[in-house]
Copies of this chain bind each other. A is one copy, B any other.
Amino acid sequence: MFDEWRGFTAPTLAPEWHEKLTEMAAKSRADILRMTTVAGSGHPGGSMSSTEIFLTLYNLAKVDPTDPMRDDRDRIIVSHGHTSPGVYSALASAGFFDIGPALHGFRQGGSPFEGHVERCVPGVEWDTGNLGQGLSAGVGRAIYARLKQLDFHTYVVMGDGEQQKGQIGEARRHAFKYGLTNLTAIIDYNRLQISGDISEVMPQNLKAEWEADGWKVLEVDAHDLDLLYKAIREATTDSKNPVMILASSVMGKGVSFMENNEGFHGATVKPDKLGGALNELGNFPNNYEELVTRRKQGAPPHFDIKRPDRPKVDAGDPIYYGPDDKSDNRGAWGKALMSVADANMNRDGFTMAVFDCDLAGSVKTGEFGKKYPDNFFQFGIAEHGTAVAAGSLSAENAISIWAAFGAFGVAETYNQARLTDINDGNMKLFCTHSGVNVGEDGKTHQCIDYFGLLNSTYGWKVITPADPNQTDCIVRHVLATEGNFAVIMGRAVIPTVLDEDGKPFFGEGYEYRYGRMETIRKGETLALVAAGNMLPYAVEAWQKLADEGKRVTLVSVSDWCDLHADDLKMLAEHDEIVTLEDHNIKTGLGTAIGSAMFEAGLSAHLTKLGVDKYAGSGKPMELYQMLGIDPESVAKKVKSLL
């Protein structure tokens, strides 16, 4: 049970709560000033305009300071993450932790009290900082509530400046389409952003925009606790519309020289003015010197945060592809998805969602959508909103899947993926149209940078299955393993990779080991290293060479992010290494192998074959030929090196 006053069940704000919140608001503003002035950095202005919103939510929504991660809690997402001082002080006032360490440790190296809100602080649901993403994160949580049949509400507090970001429009439409009445947006409408008055920086009719996208808009004074409470209550109980509360506020509220002064968006009150400001707010003692001294003693410790439970997944029974089967990896992915879904969907408490951006047929999630319509989310051509909603959902106890073309699932939404990673997400991204293997759709659609991009994060693992059999293994592994994974596939139909006895190499008996290369053929002198779905083409090249009596080693790499030292040593047993990849050669597997071998002090002569310019429109094999990475060209190149 939550504390009985929580959940906005009372029709009006109880007088004792009005009194308490009023007191808290003054103290919260004092704390905001203390934090930011001591740190000499931070965003006091917006923190002070959002104060009553934060206090009302953290004190009166269904959250539990004694168990901040309980699954039935309301989710409070702060989209304008730079108002962290306001969030920390509101969380403290609601009993989540003691404010002390935040006052001296704000924005200090090693402290949990970072400049933008982060999940390392109890009560914070989602790291934000890059603006315009919070509503999409809220969409992900509201979907979780629906899927898990939990009666919680998601509140997203936003800035007004960030309304200029297009992604918010996507999120509004997602929420409207899916009738997410368990989602409420509250905009701190202080009318100022860094560059000044929002109506001058970017004229925008917020009410009309939100209403055009089907939201109900309530207008309220953000500093009037009674009206704010009523608006939040109305939004929380409205079962017809998602509601946006446009809460007019005053930047720097409570301190005369700060009010309506955009200079205090991102600048702090100087120490010599702090005392006066604290006085204005209600005779709060100026303990600046004490806090500075305490700060010098070192950053406060991190909280011991309970992570959310993560779903346990039955990986189901493998599907095998025989020597004569021809499939595309994306087809194998679609089948494996169905198999895993079927194995788990009826299990108690198991939750799974698949997101699509108008490509289900191509990315092979259509069958899932038909069989499990309640778990399938057609988010339209709106990739940024989708990436964040799926990322945010992945932070809950659910399997969150987005399938897309690589150009949309990686290149267009890299930053959203980065933020999911910073948030310690558990997202499963399946890109079915990657490399110039995409073919005729041409350069805008050919994702040849998936590794260069995702390997620039610390958490995402990029995996490129070699053939349908390995795809099946990898899909099951990824769905059953915690972490952010991107499985990158091509579009074309490819043959099953066979061993020298003509049996499927990745078929029965094969066990996928993340991070390890596979030697497909043993040879000497030269190792041909094929990345992902280039393997079937490499096998063809190998056979051409073998037919001429030239036997080289053929190696398959599916896991680019974590090259194993033993595998590198194995490669170094060859004089020549030729890497073959359907990726930009500048930032791809060849570069990763070269750099890793150099660091390991290994030597060999490396030739990188891959995509060395934007390719055009054409059949994959036409493009491979133009790039010199078709089997014929590869065999020729290898021969020239022997």
Interface residues of A (CB under 8 A from B): 39, 41-42, 81-82, 107-111, 113-116, 118, 127-132, 161-162, 164-170, 173, 176-177, 193-195, 201-205, 208-209, 211-214, 299, 356, 358-362, 378-385, 407-408, 411-415, 418-419, 422, 439-445, 448-449, 452-453, 455-458, 584, 586-587, 590-592, 594-599, 601, 603, 605-606, 608, 612-614, 616-619, 622-623, 625-626
Contacts and interface: CB of A to CB of B under 8 A. Distances in A.
26 contacts: A107-B442, A109-B617, A109-B622, A111-B618, A115-B445, A129-B444, A130-B412, A130-B445, A164-B381, A164-B382, A166-B384, A173-B203, A173-B204, A177-B202, A195-B358, A201-B358, A205-B213, A208-B211, A209-B213, A211-B212, A384-B384, A411-B414, A414-B414, A452-B452, A458-B612, A458-B614
Given A130-B408, A358-B201, A440 B584 contact: no
Given A202-B380, A449-B456, 5 more contacts: A111-B618, A164-B382, A452-B455, A598-B598, A599-B606
Contacts of A383: 165
A619 B442 contact: no
Contact of A108 (B81, B170, B411, B617): B617
Contact of A358 (B116, B193, B458, B603): B193
A185 to B, nearest CB: 15
Given A128-B444, A177-B202, A412-B415, A161 B385 contact: no
Contacts of A441: 82, 115-116, 129
A597 B596 CA distance: 11
Contacts of A595: 590-592, 594-595, 598
A416 B514 CA distance: 33
Contact of A440 (B42, B131, B209, B603): B42
A442 to B, nearest CB: 5
Nearest to A448: B456
A381 B133 CA distance: 12
A433 to B, nearest CB: 12
Contacts of A203: 173, 176-177, 214
Nearest to A128: B444
A572 B262 CA distance: 53
Contacts of A169: 166, 169, 209
Contact of A418 (B411, B415, B455): B411
A132 B422 contact: no
A195 B114 contact: no
Contacts of A457: 449, 584
Contacts of A385: 166
Contacts of A418: 411, 449
Given A453-B414, A617-B111, A378 B164 contact: no
A166 B164 contact: no
A118 to B, nearest CB: 7
Contacts of A108: 617-618, 622
B115 A440 contact: yes
A618 B107 contact: yes
Contact of A456 (B39, B208, B382, B587): B587
Interface centre among A195, A384, A414, A456 (most CB of B within 10 A): A456
Nearest to A203: B177
Contacts of A594: 594-596, 598-599
B618 A455 contact: no
A381 B41 contact: no
A161 B622 contact: no
A581 to B, nearest CB: 13
Nearest to A267: B361
Contacts of A161: 358, 380-381
A598 B411 CA distance: 28
A407 B456 CA distance: 13
Contact of A115 (B82, B113, B379, B442): B442
Given A176-B203, A213-B204, A380-B202, A359 B444 contact: no
A455 B440 CA distance: 25
Nearest to A132: B381
A384 B39 CA distance: 32
Highest count of chain B CB atoms <10 Å: which of A166, A169, A208, A613: A166
Q: Most chain-B CB neighbours within 10 Å: which of A41, A411, A413?
A: A411
A359 B501 CA distance: 64
B131 A381 contact: yes
B599 A608 contact: yes
